[in-house]
Chain A
Amino acid sequence: MDTKVGCYICKGCDIAQSLDVDKLIELATGEMKAAVAKSHDALCSKEGLDLIRADVESEGLDRVVVAACSGRVFPELFEFGEKVLTERTNLREHVAWCHEPNDEDTQMLAEDYVRMGIVKMQSSEPAEAYTEDTSKDILVIGGGMTGLTAAKAAADAGYKIVLVEKEDHLGGWATKFVKVFPKHPPYQELEDSGVEQLIKDVEGHDNITVHTSTTVAKTAGQPGQFVVNLENGNGGKELTVGAVVLASGWQPYQAEKLTHLGYGLSPDVITNVQMEQMAKEGAIKRPSDGKAPDSVAFIQCAGSRDEDHLPYCSGVCCRVSLKQARYVRDMYPDAKVYIIYKDIRSPAQWEMFYAHAQNDDGIFLTKGEIAAVNNGGGKLSIDVTETLLGEDMKIEADMVVLATGMVPSTFVEGAKGWLEGGSEPPSPDEATKKVGEAEGDDAPDGEKKAAASAEEGAGILNLTYRQGTDLPTLKYGFPDSHFICFPYETRRTAIYAAGPVRAPMDLAISANDAYGAALKAIQAVEAVARGEAVHPRAGDMSVPDFFMQRCTQCKRCTEECPFGALDEDEKGTPLPNPFRCRRCGICLGACPERIVSFKNYSINMISQMIKSINIPDEFDEKPRILAFVCENDAMPSVDMAGLARLKYNSMVRIIPLRCLGSMNTVWVSDALASGFDGVVLIGCKKGDDYQCHFMRGSQLADTRMENVRDKLKQLVLEEERVELHELAISDYHQIPKIFDDFLETIDTAGPNPYKGM
């Protein structure tokens, strides 16, 4: 389609003082064939904007290149109607502010950016929202405190909820607790959980349908169109929902594995769960003889913070023991309670609850390690070492309570990735191979695939995704997410984990967590209905298009999509699910046949941009470096370098990518074939502490370096002509050095022999 591009050069903010603006205008209308090119003292001013608007109107422009400041500045000003695409060519932060003014090389740099801006507009189309009929109903899996709260919160907002609980009653663990620890000031007295009222509210809610004794047999489809098969023993039921809240809760760590702490030694060694049950039944009695205990000892971190069991801290057990100590003391005012701990973890205002227990003469808190628990006949005795006094201690008690931790219900026994790093549920066709793999898997940490196969998955969501049945996880079975900044964003669009399945948490926090997950589910169904992406490209309407005739069924896109957006037919042809898509473009980067494109982001668009750049011949001693940078972190970092007026090498041309994982190696070939002397890729951190906003993008970019190296070999070019860097957004000060060092490397390698060919 023919486009009509207008190019507008801003003269403000040192641009006119650094560059020959008239020459840029000549370039735009001449070589680059823009319909209109004009300059203005300040395009962001009313007059500047009016100038563009008038041209859009009178000239019928459908593409506008604003060659001024960063697109991160005043984005709202440069919008000229739905049918007009705008590109922000950054002559300020990327040229005028960080390169020598009125220098030949600076001018050439600006010219190349103008070329790229115009070509980008000539080779992209406005994205149109992709919509279909979608459901805004939400499935909540799990009828405990988290699920009940999520269901009620979303139902109160007007959404229809299907709540599924595998037990025959609602309430989960909360119904098994006598009391919960204090939520209200002065944070000293035990409280009711409030679960009974919540169950009533949910059962009586017009917007909620409850299915007890029911599990999810299968979840197929995509956000807005999930087809869910429920199973309740008397047959199934199929329904369509838009989003899912996974609130399937936790299970106690298996006490059977804690024989070193005396479990199994005597019936009088119990867990905190058994203690709660006893208290709920009305009397705390010594199991062996039904006698009222004179003394009860709590052993904290029983199997927690222990590399042989649960390495993490469940965060609740200290307060649970303090609570259960209160049960004992209230029931038997003369009984003594011992709590043996590593650290007492009573965060926030719960410190007051701890302080209250410290003031009770009948509660003895002792820091120490457990050497042994012995059955002394009648009483149990606990050998404690490493106490604060430096002396070993022996504590005798009628009962021992092991404060065991919480394991997420999504935990899969024997999953290999559990301790070492995250796990990716394997694809059905890989499942057999994975299960057979030996322990000595040499994949790096965080890359190990779990044994959570289609057959052995957690069995809760039962997704029919090509990439597996469950949410991909981080360590310990918790869902993979940016757990600091965007804790709800899992790698399966519109499926949000909440409560202890997401991280260990107490009841009050779980209820809070449910609100967050319910909010995200609502957001997802609304975004899908509008045909927009959810986080992190919220509002993006572009969807990838697959030119299937050229597909070779290599399966790279279906394997690499971090969000499992693509399923496969029997032959391996990708089956896109646009509503699962997060628009990162990783499929576009993966495809060797270059069949994936977005209307406003494509192989052709970037290739044309690369080819538009003017490459001086080898005798000019003006090397050219192409930099592909992640637009999320590295690009703002380059902006900051400009804002801080850091000077860097003007031989570098920067092209932002949606994610470095969307880099297709053909672009590197294009660049080298065009005569670029080197290519530098700058993305986010990969590995266990990845910073990639699309989770897997940086890792995949690294993997693709293999292909790049092969390409270089084919072209008989030096390996060092392509470099990959990780750059945190705050490391803008390192940008000049990255470029300078690379230029030095290229200098040593000499000019690209393909130059001018």
Chain B
Amino acid sequence: MALFEPAEDQITADTIVVGGGIAGMTTAIETAEIGKDVILIEKTPSLGGRVAAMHQYFPKMCPPTCGIEINYKRIRPNPHIRVLTLTEIESVSGEPGAFEVTLKLSPRFVNEKCTACGDCEKVCEIERDNDFNYDLDKTKAIYLPHLMAYPMRHVIDPAYVGDERMKKCVDACQYGAIELDMQPRTITAKVGAIVWATGWRPYDAAKIDNLGFGQIKNVITNVIMERLSAVTGPTQGKILRPSDQKEPTRIGFVQCAGSRDENHLPYCSTICCMASMKQATYIREQYPDAEIYLFYIDVRTPGRWEDYYVTKQNDEKFHFYRGKVAKITEGTDGNVILEAENTLTGQITKTEVDLAILATGMVPNNVEAPPPLETVLDDFGFIAPDGDKGIVGAGVANRPLDVSASIQDATGAALRAINIAGRR
């Protein structure tokens, strides 16, 4: 309930959850619904994390915002949750059961009086790259993170806060919500347990030299594909290839792009097979004649996900090829040529497509921002089991997981944390 900027300089809770994506939100809500106090911090301006940028979930092809809204609905009236956005952990001291956490609150430059009416946006003359849409379109310098943001409040890109032209926004706001001189704050939180749910980022596809991302326009990644398919995306949900906005008719999916590869990510991200089949379904729905070519090493669809794979195998426009794509080159008319190698015979097959989608894997954010204390990470940056030193991992901070498994992990993390924080 009580969210946003706390008036006090010290706050307390049973558990602090770091990361407001689906895992962190889940841990926080599940904790609060027991009646334990929880602080949920998120470094971006809104809750929602990576899933908020997904078009649909596999295998039900349902919008992530459906579950996110229910979670917001659970947060709103709950007196045990405190949500702090634009907040990061600066340092941690103490021990399991009694941690003291220093929190850095970055300024939003928009206070709690904001009603998200958008008057400021109308007069704002500055545009910025829209990171929510992977920079494929623009927002104003003052913007709503997305239509399902929580809190539903504008934010100013700090890069432009000093720009004279922002004063127009201040004048346009009838509520006195814009404070260009808002300062960062540091507060402390006394908590019994820390849950680390900082999630993942997509592997940087530009590092995979042979696959042409960044050089060949019509080679995109799976995360970009989600935005190209969503109504709130840069193409309003119409799937068009980037070079000429043409409707693609032959689409290639490149599985294990940088995954299961000792030069990049040696592990398997577990979601990419299902994600590619899901994205192919977006395409097949928009373009019933489109042909799909999916190149894989192993198709990994465990449990009931197998049913989804079977439905795709039964689709005559769906072509599965076993072989790793070794090289992508540019053809004529913006087309893309995929060279796949049969790993046993060495035989090379070439396939020309309009659009190629690289199924890139997940890199834990722990790599760049490791958890505090001496939390043990494995070689890839995931939190190793029993290595947590009182810090409980949740979701992809622990292991590459799909949404369902992240929620499973995050629900359990709530109880692990409660048991660290102390008996009832």
Contacts and interface: CB of A to CB of B under 8 A. Distances in A.
Q: Indicate, yes or no, whether A interacts with B.
A: yes
Given A158-B423, A640-B147, A729-B69, A512 B306 contact: no
Contacts of A538: 33, 74, 78
Contacts of B67: 482, 484-486
28 contacts: A72-B73, A73-B115, A153-B415, A157-B419, A185-B384, A305-B306, A311-B306, A313-B301, A345-B298, A345-B302, A348-B270, A349-B380, A388-B322, A388-B343, A474-B304, A475-B307, A484-B403, A485-B407, A486-B407, A487-B407, A512-B408, A515-B412, A519-B30, A536-B70, A632-B66, A644-B147, A684-B66, A729-B65
A247 to B, nearest CB: 13
A483 B404 contact: yes
Interface in B37-67: 55, 57, 59-63, 65-67
A30 interface: no
B34 A523 contact: yes
Nearest to A307: B310
Contact of A75 (B62, B66, B77, B260): B77
Interface in B48-101: 55, 57, 59-63, 65-67, 69-70, 72-74, 76-78
Contact of B267 (A42, A349, A474, A684): A349
B206 interface: no
Residue in A153, A186, A313, A476 whose Cβ sees the most chain B Cβ within 10 Å: A313
A527 B34 CA distance: 7
B287 to A, nearest CB: 19
A636 interface: yes
Contacts of A315: 302-303
B298 A344 contact: yes
Nearest to B3: A76
B66 A348 contact: no
B19 to A, nearest CB: 17
Contact of B415 (A347, A352, A485, A518): A518
Interface string B93-130: 00000000000000000000101110000000000000
Contacts of A45: 113, 175
Given A184-B384, A352-B267, A388-B342, A523 B33 contact: yes
B303 A73 contact: no
Nearest to B305: A313
Nearest to A685: B62
Contact-size category for B: 35 or more
B70 A348 contact: no
Given A185-B384, A346-B268, A730-B63, A487 B147 contact: no
Contacts of A314: 302-303
A420 to B, nearest CB: 12
Interface of A: 12-14, 41-42, 44-45, 69, 72-73, 75-76, 153-154, 156-158, 183-187, 305, 307, 311-315, 343-352, 355, 367, 388-390, 474-476, 478, 482-488, 503-505, 508-509, 512-516, 518-520, 522-523, 526-527, 530, 534-536, 538-539, 632-633, 636, 640, 643-644, 684-685, 689, 691, 693, 728-733
B190 to A, nearest CB: 20
B419 A349 contact: no
Contacts of A485: 57, 66-67, 70, 403-404, 407
Contacts of A313: 301-303, 305-306
Contact of B404 (A484, A508, A530): A484
Contacts of B113: 42, 44-45
A403 B79 CA distance: 50
A284 B175 CA distance: 77
Contacts of A693: 70
Given A483-B404, A526-B35, A73 B70 contact: no
A349 B382 contact: yes
A42 B76 contact: no
A156 B399 contact: no
A347 B303 CA distance: 12
A180 to B, nearest CB: 12
Contact of A153 (B231, B345, B404, B419): B419
Interface in B293-327: 298-307, 310, 322
B268 A347 contact: yes
A347 B147 contact: no
A693 B384 CA distance: 35
Contact of A351 (B76, B260, B386): B260
Given A184-B386, A349-B382, A640-B147, A312 B307 contact: yes
Nearest to A349: B267
Nearest to B31: A519
Contact of A504 (B3, B117, B303): B303
Given A13-B115, A153-B419, A516-B409, 11 more contacts: A13-B117, A185-B379, A347-B268, A347-B300, A349-B399, A352-B266, A485-B403, A513-B412, A643-B147, A728-B66, A729-B65
A76 B2 contact: yes
Interface of B: 1-3, 30, 33-35, 55, 57, 59-63, 65-67, 69-70, 72-74, 76-78, 113, 115-117, 147-148, 152, 174-175, 230-232, 260, 266-270, 298-307, 310, 322, 342-345, 378-380, 382, 384-386, 399-401, 403-405, 407-409, 411-416, 418-419, 423-424
A348 B303 contact: no
B403 to A, nearest CB: 6
Nearest to B30: A519
Given A487-B407, A487-B408, A643-B147, A157 B424 contact: yes
Contact of B408 (A185, A355, A513, A536): A513
A729 B303 CA distance: 27
B298 A484 contact: no
B409 A311 contact: no
B175 A12 contact: yes
B322 A367 contact: yes
Contacts of B70: 485-486, 536, 632, 693
A548 to B, nearest CB: 32
B401 to A, nearest CB: 8
Contacts of A640: 147-148
Contacts of B174: 12, 41-42
The 5 residue pairs across chains A and B that have the minimum distance between CB atoms: A515-B412, A485-B67, A315-B302, A516-B411, A730-B63
A733 B378 CA distance: 45
Given A388-B344, A504-B302, A526-B34, A689 B62 contact: yes
Given A313-B301, A519-B415, A691 B66 contact: yes
Given A45-B175, A512-B409, A519-B412, A476 B304 contact: yes
A526 B30 CA distance: 12
A534 B300 CA distance: 35
B412 A516 contact: yes
Contacts of A514: 412
A514 B414 CA distance: 12
Contacts of A685: 62
A599 B302 CA distance: 46
B175 A42 contact: yes
Contacts of B230: 730
B219 to A, nearest CB: 25
B258 to A, nearest CB: 13
Contacts of A389: 344-345
Contacts of A388: 322, 342-345
B61 A42 contact: no
Nearest to A367: B322
Given A186-B379, A519-B30, A351 B303 contact: no
A543 B25 CA distance: 28
A315 B343 CA distance: 24
Contacts of A484: 57, 60, 62, 67, 403-404, 407
Contacts of B378: 185-187, 349
A351 B411 contact: no
Nearest to A483: B404
A368 B232 CA distance: 44
A538 B29 CA distance: 10
B350 to A, nearest CB: 19
